[in-house]
Structure 1
């Protein structure tokens, strides 16, 4: 009869230690149907191989064990012998996978792997702005070496940025040797009187090319008009170039509303023109007011006029609570509206000690 001997498989899962794989044999021995007893070919662990294709063995015949490609032997003995009772002698012969050297990540890149034993795989990637020069994968071979050397991660370069006619570029950082790299940026400008059309910002992209280059075109504006109640710094009746400016001012008792300077814009039009607004007479005879952050008697206001958009504050009285509160009012193009609650002092009250004025009474 056939008899089966099971030899157990051992395994240690530790990256820093041997992975002990079973080389224990499942041997089937017995009669071969012939008169003489012997052994049948042993059933081996998948990692172990025999040096012969023979299927039946006589007592006393030895077999030499070896490891398949990519595996290395551990323990022993390496040879088993067919015994007279039809069994094979015992062995602890085991084969473990060979291990490749631990890989280092490429500069400016990363690698991913689960193990470094035979048939393990490494995957390489590069950081943004770098391209892989070499193979992106490597496999641990039977001779314990990686199938390909580690690749390099090379920076993406763009060369110098293209310059538009009549323009220039100012790089964000110093550029040397005629080379620029991914992420390098700059700002385009046009030489006067040319105007820039397109994106003024430039950047070396991940594809190794620069973003679209803008154009520099001639732009002019027609002669500007003067403003009512005012004057201008340049009355030449000519076309003005892009970015040229003209300044405005107002006649006495008028204030400029808007920017004092207009500029010839990219679309061939002037920026918004200012206007001259009338000042406001302060028709108060007897009171203390707030003006430019100070409390003053109205008689101390040298010219009883404030300019457009200037503000004064007058004081109203809360007779119920016996307290006062300031109310601001603003000059708008010659009109200064006083609040209804405001009451001028009598001549006697005004000339009396100023500490009794509403502005000096406890504030509400």
Structure 2
């Protein structure tokens, strides 16, 4: 038989061989992030051709994840690499950073864990020497609330002028 056929995103056990006599078996495997579909091997037949059908390698899909204290907006049970999925948190809960995840090659999600944390109000934002913020006089701060810092005349601000109350009950970095 001639050299065994190559398959996209796969390898075969005959890569280093020169001759393929009658009856020899060649085994296929897939690169990381792909799974083998079909027969794992082909044989050299009496007529000098390889047995059919050839296997193929398909990208490993991501299964729909579970969201602690939330739900996923998706109709499929599996997703292909590069596809994005959106999720939401139950009332009283929020995600710390993002509400979307992306399927990665190999069947993993990025970010890998979806967690909706109980929303905690933020305390009064920290004060700054020679400056102030516009949150003075407020009783509490909910997730997403922003506070803007300003400096007294003759002083300039180092850091972010605006901070946000995060779901964890902490402020973003000033």
Which of the five TM-score ranges fits, normalised by the shorter chain? 0.5 to 0.7
Measure the CA separation in 1 of the matches of 2:49 and 2:173.
Answer: 75
- CA spacing shift, 1:193–1:112, aligned 2, 3 Å: closer
Identify the match of residue 213 of structure 1 among 98, 113, 118: 113
Gapped runs of 5+ residues in structure 2?
Answer: none
- CA spacing shift, 1:138–1:262, aligned 2, 3 Å: closer
Partner of 1:248: 149
- CA spacing shift, 1:230–1:141, aligned 2, 3 Å: closer
Q: Does 1:268 pair with 2:169? A: yes
| Residue aligned with 1:153, SS | strand
Identify the match of residue 82 of structure 2 among 184, 187, 191: 184
Measure the CA separation in 2 of the matches of 1:226 and 1:220.
Answer: 18
CA shift, 1:215, in A, is 0.9
CA shift, 1:156, in A, is 1.9
Which of these two proteins has the greater Rg computed from alpha carbons?
1
| Residue aligned with 1:241, SS | coil
Measure the CA separation in 1 of the matches of 2:27 and 2:166.
Answer: 55
Please tell me whether the aligned partners of residues 248 and 261 of structure 1 are also in contact (alpha carbons under 8 angstroms): yes
Identify the match of residue 121 of structure 1 among 3, 25, 28: 25
Relative to the length of structure 1, the TM-score reads 0.35
Partner of 1:151: 55
Measure the CA separation in 2 of the matches of 1:143 and 1:232.
Answer: 84
Please tell me whether the aligned partners of residues 122 and 170 of structure 2 are also in contact (alpha carbons under 8 angstroms): yes
Measure the CA separation in 2 of the matches of 1:251 and 1:130.
Answer: 60
Please tell me whether the aligned partners of residues 122 and 171 of structure 2 are also in contact (alpha carbons under 8 angstroms): yes
Please tell me whether the aligned partners of residues 197 and 216 of structure 1 are also in contact (alpha carbons under 8 angstroms): no
| Residue aligned with 1:240, SS | coil
- CA spacing shift, 1:190–1:158, aligned 2, 3 Å: closer
How well do the aligned residues superpose, as a CA RMSD in angstroms?
Answer: 4.2
Structure of higher RCO (CA pairs closer than 8 Å, 6+ residues apart): 2
Measure the CA separation in 1 of the matches of 2:62 and 2:50.
Answer: 33
- CA spacing shift, 1:143–1:246, aligned 2, 3 Å: closer
Q: Does 1:140 pair with 2:41? A: no
Measure the CA separation in 2 of the matches of 1:110 and 1:238.
Answer: 65
Measure the CA separation in 1 of the matches of 2:130 and 2:50.
Answer: 87
Count of residue pairs the alignment pairs up: 165
Gapped runs of 5+ residues in structure 1?
Answer: 1-99, 170-174, 274-364
Relative to the length of structure 2, the TM-score reads 0.62
CA shift, 1:272, in A, is 5.9
CA shift, 1:268, in A, is 2.2
CA shift, 1:241, in A, is 1.8
How do 1:208-357 and structure 2 match up within 5 A? 208=107, 210=109, 212-217=112-117, 218-224=119-125, 227=128, 229-252=130-153, 254-259=154-159, 260-271=161-172
